[in-house]
Structure 1
Amino acid sequence: MNKQQLASKIWASANKMRSKIEANEYKDYILGFIFYRYLSTEIENFYRTEGWSDEDMPSLEEDIDPEYTEYVRKNRGYFIGYKNLFSTWLNKGNDFGVKDVSEALSAFNRLIYPTHKKVFSGIFDTLETGLKNLGDSDTTRSSAISKLIQLIKDIPMDGNQGYDVLGYIYEYLISNFAASAGKKAGEFYTPHEVSVLMAEIVAHHLRDREKIEIYDPTSGSGSLLITIGRAVAKHNDSPDNIKYYAQELKRNTYNLTRMNLVMRGIKPNNIITRNGDTLEHGSDWPMFEDDDKETSYEYRPMDAVVSNPPYSQEWDRPSDKDSDPRYKDYGLAPKKKADYAFLLHDLYHLKSDGIMAIVLPHGVLFRPGDEAEIRRNLIEQNKIEAIIGLPADIFFGTPIATIVMVLKANRDNTDVLFIDASKYASKDGKKKKLQASDIKRIFDAVTTRPASIDKFARLVSLKEILENEYDLNIPKYVDSSDAVEKWDLYSSLLGGVPRTEIELLKDYWEVMPALKSTLFPEGEYVECLSDNVGDTIRNHDDIKKFQAAYNSAFGDYEQYLIAQLIYGMMTLNVAKEVDILGEDLFNRLSSVPLLDRYAAFQALSDCWEQTATDIEIIQTEGREVLRKIEPNMVMVKNGEDEDEIQKGWKGRIMPFKLVQKTLLPEYLDRVNELQEQLAETVGEVSALLEETGEDDAEILNEDGDAFDNKKVKVQLKLMLKEYKKRKYTDLPDFPEGSIEAHVVTLTKNADEQKRLKAEVKDALRELEEKTIFTIESLTEEQIRELLRLKWIMPVVDAVKAEHTNVITSLIDKVEALVVKYAVTLNDVEKSISESESKLSDMVVSLRGNDFDMKALESFKNLLNHGK
């Protein structure tokens, strides 16, 4: 399985196994065990590099070799003896129990080396104290833990470049537990897409720095910090030159932060964390010793601060704001809403050239009172770089719309960029989700700071903000409301397309001026000159020039992608490649007007996801994986449970269907032909069923909506017996529509279906065998062609579709404009009048009794409007 499939399987099993345990609680158990397995695997790998064999490893115990134990502790920061290794747990089988876990966790905490105490001390407390919740006895708890460790034993613990399977699965589980945890989710998780958006903005600002320190004062699971670090590392190629500072109030969530950071391969010396209250007066952070705050405090500003603090929570305000340097220059957030307290804490810890990004509720932009004072001071001191309005319903635990506010300690300008991205998200189940193109659109706006992007972004001067009394509510500055369709009064009454509405398509006319003249003559109200708008547009020279521009820009696109992805697959950096491909795509699109470059980028991104996974596997497992076959495992219902069973085979990289269509078309055609014949025989039975009548009741089921095969066989036996008595050697021809004729037809059909099913089964088996043989013996040329079809052509076709969409969209808009005013109100009125006149004449010819005639006379007057 690839990492997505494995993560999905583990989540489904874990979610089922948790039974009645709350998702927010159960996550601490499974994530804790995953982390223990990670540490156990890491130290077992260390033992092997030190020359320890499988036979020697049982002697790796603290009481057997205390000197080596101390060596390992000093070298790795912790020690896990042989009996406490995760692999030993698995090997114990039925002898493994909850006691093994308790003893292992206790030993781990006791054997942490002093220099690593802050990273590892108490990291398993939540798991250790929660073991009792996994059952009501040692037996049930042991059974639950055994299932858990069996579930996570298949997670690969190695990585190559971006191929971080462990990190991906950990993030996947955190995200899904967050989705199931309701309001508690916001305590520990920022949706990945929001993290990526913040990360890209921060990383762009820090792109030229060699050593970087980043800080999250409300770190939750640590995912936001990790995403920032990865984005930064893409620019400087030095992940070990990034230091991570994190603080988290809740102990179990704080443990998640540390686990997540350690499992991403971040060196312990680069992890500085604290479990405490970020806003507590007198406990400013990040640099002091817990037992010596007075003399050890050292102010440490950061290159970047990022946070997603709890929204509008109560806090204990310091009684004297002047004593707290975080707030003295700006003001104190109100007691019931700590949003600005978190923001000012973040801002205080910025270097003079630092950047920060924080997620906040919309209310901070316009609420009165103390928050208005803070807003005014932030604006006057020129700290706010950008305000990004996000869509509602993208955060777990709350449906509210939120913002990302970007601030800098020192700015070169005084205007503020406002972005309304509230409509840029796709549906993802019950929630919404930022797509790659949405993130790219926002990022581009933040980094290029355009004067204005219609209904999306606007650079607002300090003067205008002052005129609005420091109110930063986004709709005051960016109108993203949908345009109301207008109807021209003259055109509605007398016809003709108004010039004002023709000019609404000016983006097209600027590129295709001659096409505009071909479709519409000069004048304020005009008729379209074409009887077939679609053909006129498609065949016009301006469209041909537009197509030529596309062909010029993308003529070698397929070859470029082949060189990048197929020939470069073993050496390319997966994490960076999508940026390289995106930049190339935008460069090409710059010479092709009208194409929506973000729609094209989304098409690229959608295709890239699968390609990236394939390349990660190839880089990790080697090129031979391209010829590898593996069992196709599927989940099937077994009563209330689900079992995983093998259903045939599949290619590790090469899809069976693609290989069959490309290299085995004759075998595939044979299967399709037989399946079509089988479908025809089934259709014949359905057609015969429609012909049945009351006389056929003896061969129908109780509901009368299908043939009963057993009854058909009984009838056939009776018929054979009867005609045998008459000494017939064979059944005669029966009258069409008779029950006997139906029995004969059904019998022949059943024989034909049986034959075809056997042939289909044999053909499918032969096709599968041929496919397996073909994949395992692929030539390099065949591999390149299959990868071209799998990786390259979907991107090429998707981008080409965006070009086609431009032409289709123009045709639709012009046709809609012509149809809109094709029938005037005067035409409608005339048609109604003519219909009323005809109906009135028809009424005159009607006859009836006196009452009918009076009613008809009244109806006639109504049609004639009383005339």
Structure 2
Amino acid sequence: MRLGGVYGIWGYSHFRSNLGYFIAHKHLFSTWLDQTSDFDVADVREALSAFSRLIHPNHKRLFEGIFKTLETGLSKLGDTAAKQTKSISELLQLIKDIPMDGKQSYDVLGFIYEYLIGMFAANAGKKAGEFYTPHEVSVLMSEVIAHHLKDRETIQIYDSTSGSGSLLLNIGQAIAKHMDDNDSIKYYAQELKENTYNLTRMNLVMRGILPGNIVTRNADTLEDDWPYFDEQDPVNSYNPLYLDAVVSNPPYSQKWDPQHKDADPRYARFGVAPKSKADYAFLLHDLYHLKPNGIMAIVLPHGVLFRGGEEGVIRKQLIENDHLETIIGLPSNIFFGTGIPTVILMLRQKREGSDVLFVDASKGFAKEGKNNKLRACDIKKITDVVIARATMPGFSRLVPKTELQGEANDYNLNIPRYVDSSEPPESWDLYASMFGGIPLSELDALADYWKAFPNLRAALFTLDGTPYAQPKAGDLAEAVRQHPEVAKFNDAFARAFDGFKPWLHSELIGKMLTLQVPRQAALICEELFARLAKVGAVPLIDKYQAYQVLDDHWQPIAVDFEILQTEGVDATRVVDPNYVVKKKDGKDVEVQEGWKGRILPFDLVQLAHHRKELDALRKKEDELADVVTQLNELLDSFSEEDKAKDTFNEAGDKFVAAAVAKEAKELAAEAKVAGAFGSDPYEAKIIQAAKVLANEKSLKAAIKKDAAALHLKTKATIEALSDEQVHALLERKWLAPLVDELHRLPDLVTSSLIAKLQALVEKYRITYADNARQIQQAEKALVSMLGEMDGGEFDLKAIEELKTLLAGD
């Protein structure tokens, strides 16, 4: 965020003319946090007034009223200034404590909103997420659009229902990977709700976009088409707005007024959406504002693919005129506040070809609470398929227009008609169920493995000329792992990734202050895929699984890059106070508890530079764990009557150390006088417990002392690291975990094959005939037992009837 401060006349003028606004130091969020008891609601009112007063005249349209929601909301925080001050002070602390974890790099307000509605979904209401597109969906749309626009020198992008502005931000970030000048991107946004419109403006401004590159409009997209002009000069400033990219996530199936819209140029060519569902009205609005070589993406409910009536007419026209390019089916429960399935439709004004790519991405996601979430590997797979317009069985298919037009489909675009992503049902072979053996047809289903390991099948199974195989190896897992072809596969992977870590070191650590993070991520992905292609047996290692490994490790690395490129290499030698929240007098109080490395974690530095002290500390911790086990065993050996004594707590589940020590001391003194210990087991165990408790206390004190000393020693080590030591530690933090996890991929392949084979063997190991014989034997044994039973007249009649049934007579 670009902020102004008290920098004199030059600073004031510089910030105001370049940013469009100026914020004095005393009005900053950080200043208010530091004020603590001196903070007052009047400070907020003064800051808001000053902000409005100091907006540069050239940017009045962008900034005027941007804080209106906050201004009007202050009075709702309390009926007195004191109550308002208290509420705002608490709000400042809440905002400060939101766990950003580096995610602020993509969308500050969007992340906070997503975090809050994720935490408080029960109170957020069904419409809570209607103006926020989940980050992952936004990234997916952005990546495809960015690829389409990557060779252009200047780009204009537009969101017709902008909400929080996250879609625009992500597209801008994705495009920036392909451009040298981020200021060549111009952002247009339109939003109906005033509060949400202010959120759009705020979010775009906070990302440091030049004010001249932000054009926003608070209006009804369907009723008030864009034609943008300045009221002071409507003729010369008129802009019909045709753009390189248009994106939107409009409210689903919203009611609207279609009267007289057939004359509107946005709808005249295609038809007017029904009044009960404005989905196609939003789509046609977006399409109308596309340049001939532009691209658009819109998120809509799945029903737009097959509903009839006016929507069917519009859909037919879009297909006939070759505007519809791609349909992506998303998982259900992916948007906050609605569980309905949604789709992304991608359209063009003009394009080569008339086929439509269908992608069924509904099965690829991770479950997070009540919602489903696209993973990085899912986004990458969809993006690759869409860019390549590739057919992938069970996932995507390029469908010719003639098939869509045909009588069988009649312009129905329901995805399952064209892509079958369903899992085949499990089948049971009748012969194998009766007589055993593994059906060859079920082994054939593992064709990718047999292709990679041509001789492995014969090594594991015996063929007898029938369509059934018998397990040959006693230990399937061992036989698979030891097979020469599997070992060769592992060696091929190792060779393909030979030198990968040094290459990463050169690309990341060697260039950490100058590299462009998004471009570098793409470069590493290309290298990763290229090396996987060298392995051979490629189908066995899912490159998108490898990509997920890369992305999981890349996210924290990217956060470190942001710090390094802002603060320099010296940031690696910085330690910050480690603050934790503790209860004090019934209130949460933030207190310092040691230190933490800004970039380099203490545990990593200890492993590299203080291994001797760390091992000694861990040895004591292991001894303490043994002592705790001894205490638990001793505790269990006492009777409930013993545990009612003062040497135990009220619950009887812990020793009272002081009481145990006192009683043990008295017992020792009595024994000294008597010349020997008594024979009472309780007394002997109490004396033993006192010794163990004393050992526990001693160990805890030693561990606390040693840990504190090691902590301070680590702090000093970090602050004195050489550049060479920093590079070595960064390699251990960034590269080693990534490379190690990638090298585990071949073993995952082997483990998967073993699990499938063991499941097949177990499936037919016990036949139906075996089960029948066991049941028969059990029935005979039961009949014999029933014959030995006695009882009354009616009991005996019942037993005889049961014996008859069991005997099968």
Q: What amino acid does structure 1 have at the position aligned with 2:153?
A: E
Is 1:556 the counterpart of 2:556 in the alignment? no
**1:703 Cα deviation from its structure 2 partner:** 3.9
Provide the secondary structure at the position in 1 that maps to 2:345: strand
Q: 1:155 touches 1:165 (CA, 8 Å); kept in 2?
A: no
Distance 1:652 1:91 in 2: 21
Q: 2:261 touches 2:272 (CA, 8 Å); kept in 1?
A: no
Q: Identify which of 577, 584, 591 aligns with 2:520.
A: 577
Q: Which digits, 9 at most, give the CA deviation of each residue in 1:290-329, with x for residues without a partner?
A: 57768864422110000011111111214250x2110011
Equivalences for residues 501-540 of structure 1 within 5 A: 501-520=442-461, 521=463, 523-540=466-483
**Corresponding residue number in structure 2 for 1:658:** 604
- CA gap of 1:560–1:84, structure 2 versus 1, over 3 A, is closer
Q: Which digits, 9 at most, give the CA deviation of each residue in 1:104-132, with x for residues without a partner?
A: 42343244333211111221222212111
- CA gap of 1:146–1:637, structure 2 versus 1, over 3 A, is closer
Q: 1:167 touches 1:263 (CA, 8 Å); kept in 2?
A: no
Equivalences for residues 389-404 of structure 1 within 5 A: 389-404=329-344
Is 1:647 the counterpart of 2:597 in the alignment? no
**Corresponding residue number in structure 2 for 1:667:** 613
Is 1:630 the counterpart of 2:576 in the alignment? yes
**1:90 Cα deviation from its structure 2 partner:** 6.9
Distance 1:87 1:675 in 2: 41
Aligned CA-pair RMSD? 2.9
**1:270 Cα deviation from its structure 2 partner:** 1.0
Equivalences for residues 343-354 of structure 1 within 5 A: 343-354=283-294
Q: Identify which of 378, 396, 400 aligns with 1:461.
A: 400
Q: 1:492 touches 1:824 (CA, 8 Å); kept in 2?
A: yes
Distance 1:470 1:120 in 2: 46
**1:364 Cα deviation from its structure 2 partner:** 0.8
Q: Identify which of 740, 747, 760 aligns with 1:817.
A: 760
Give 5+ residue unaligned stretches, structure 1: 1-37, 53-59, 61-68
Distance 1:82 1:579 in 2: 39
Provide the secondary structure at the position in 2 that maps to 1:357: strand
Is 1:826 the counterpart of 2:769 in the alignment? yes
Distance 2:34 2:619 in 1: 51
- CA gap of 1:99–1:769, structure 2 versus 1, over 3 A, is closer
Shifted more, 852-861 versus 737-746: the winner is 852-861
Q: Identify which of 311, 314, 328 aligns with 1:388.
A: 328
Q: 1:186 touches 1:310 (CA, 8 Å); kept in 2?
A: no
Q: 2:671 touches 2:678 (CA, 8 Å); kept in 1?
A: no
**Corresponding residue number in structure 2 for 1:271:** 214
Q: 1:248 touches 1:275 (CA, 8 Å); kept in 2?
A: yes
**1:279 Cα deviation from its structure 2 partner:** 0.6
TM-score (norm 1): 0.86
Provide the secondary structure at the position in 1 that maps to 2:419: coil
Q: 1:391 touches 1:421 (CA, 8 Å); kept in 2?
A: yes
Distance 1:790 1:94 in 2: 41
- CA gap of 1:781–1:129, structure 2 versus 1, over 3 A, is same
Q: Which digits, 9 at most, give the CA deviation of each residue in 1:752-809, with x for residues without a partner?
A: 2222222222221222122222222334443333222211121112212222111111
Q: What amino acid does structure 2 have at the position aligned with 1:266?
A: I
Equivalences for residues 107-118 of structure 1 within 5 A: 107-118=50-61
**Corresponding residue number in structure 1 for 2:132:** 189
Is 1:761 the counterpart of 2:709 in the alignment? no
Shifted more, 409-418 versus 489-498: the winner is 489-498
- CA gap of 1:774–1:837, structure 2 versus 1, over 3 A, is same
**1:578 Cα deviation from its structure 2 partner:** 1.6
Q: Identify which of 499, 503, 513 aligns with 2:440.
A: 499
Equivalences for residues 674-713 of structure 1 within 5 A: 674-693=620-639, 696=642, 697-698=644-645, 699-709=647-657, 711-713=659-661
**Corresponding residue number in structure 2 for 1:567:** 510
Shifted more, 594-603 versus 113-122: the winner is 113-122
**Corresponding residue number in structure 1 for 2:542:** 596
Q: 2:436 touches 2:764 (CA, 8 Å); kept in 1?
A: yes
Shifted more, 83-92 versus 534-543: the winner is 83-92
- CA gap of 1:808–1:123, structure 2 versus 1, over 3 A, is same
Q: What amino acid does structure 2 have at the position aligned with 1:863?
A: L
**Corresponding residue number in structure 2 for 1:42:** 4
Q: Identify which of 309, 313, 322 aligns with 2:250.
A: 309
Q: Which digits, 9 at most, give the CA deviation of each residue in 1:143-201, with x for residues without a partner?
A: 333455577789999xxxx9895765433213224444333433431111111001001
Shifted more, 247-256 versus 113-122: the winner is 113-122
Is 1:733 the counterpart of 2:677 in the alignment? yes
Is 1:341 the counterpart of 2:287 in the alignment? no
Q: Identify which of 241, 244, 252 aligns with 1:300.
A: 241
Q: Which digits, 9 at most, give the CA deviation of each residue in 1:204-258, with x for residues without a partner?
A: 1001111111111111111110111111111122211111111111111111111
Distance 2:342 2:79 in 1: 42
Equivalences for residues 126-525 of structure 1 within 5 A: 126-148=69-91, 165=104, 168-179=107-118, 180=120, 181-280=124-223, 283-290=224-231, 297-321=238-262, 323-451=263-391, 453-467=392-406, 468-520=409-461, 521=463, 523-525=466-468
TM-score (norm 2): 0.92
Shifted more, 115-124 versus 527-536: the winner is 527-536
- CA gap of 1:485–1:290, structure 2 versus 1, over 3 A, is farther
**1:665 Cα deviation from its structure 2 partner:** 1.9
**Corresponding residue number in structure 2 for 1:34:** none
Distance 2:758 2:745 in 1: 20
Provide the secondary structure at the position in 2 that maps to 1:272: strand
**1:142 Cα deviation from its structure 2 partner:** 2.8
**Corresponding residue number in structure 2 for 1:24:** none
**1:439 Cα deviation from its structure 2 partner:** 0.5
- CA gap of 1:328–1:295, structure 2 versus 1, over 3 A, is farther
- CA gap of 1:286–1:587, structure 2 versus 1, over 3 A, is farther
Q: 2:110 touches 2:164 (CA, 8 Å); kept in 1?
A: no
Q: Which digits, 9 at most, give the CA deviation of each residue in 1:589-621, with x for residues without a partner?
A: 123321011111101110111111122212222
Q: Identify which of 31, 39, 49 aligns with 1:106.
A: 49
**1:569 Cα deviation from its structure 2 partner:** 1.5
- Give identity over the alignment, percent: 49
**Corresponding residue number in structure 2 for 1:742:** 685
Q: 1:219 touches 1:254 (CA, 8 Å); kept in 2?
A: yes
Distance 2:53 2:618 in 1: 66
**1:342 Cα deviation from its structure 2 partner:** 0.3
Distance 1:533 1:584 in 2: 35
**1:830 Cα deviation from its structure 2 partner:** 2.8
Provide the secondary structure at the position in 1 that maps to 2:326: strand
Give 5+ residue unaligned stretches, structure 2: none
**1:564 Cα deviation from its structure 2 partner:** 1.7
- CA gap of 1:656–1:626, structure 2 versus 1, over 3 A, is same
Provide the secondary structure at the position in 2 that maps to 1:458: strand
Q: What amino acid does structure 1 have at the position aligned with 2:710?
A: L
Q: 2:165 touches 2:199 (CA, 8 Å); kept in 1?
A: yes
**Corresponding residue number in structure 2 for 1:4:** none
Shifted more, 818-827 versus 360-369: the winner is 818-827
- CA gap of 1:827–1:738, structure 2 versus 1, over 3 A, is closer
Shifted more, 383-392 versus 141-150: the winner is 141-150
Provide the secondary structure at the position in 1 that maps to 2:256: coil
Q: What amino acid does structure 2 have at the position aligned with 1:534?
A: A
**1:371 Cα deviation from its structure 2 partner:** 0.6
Give the number of aligned pairs. Answer: 795
Q: What amino acid does structure 1 have at the position aligned with 2:677?
A: D
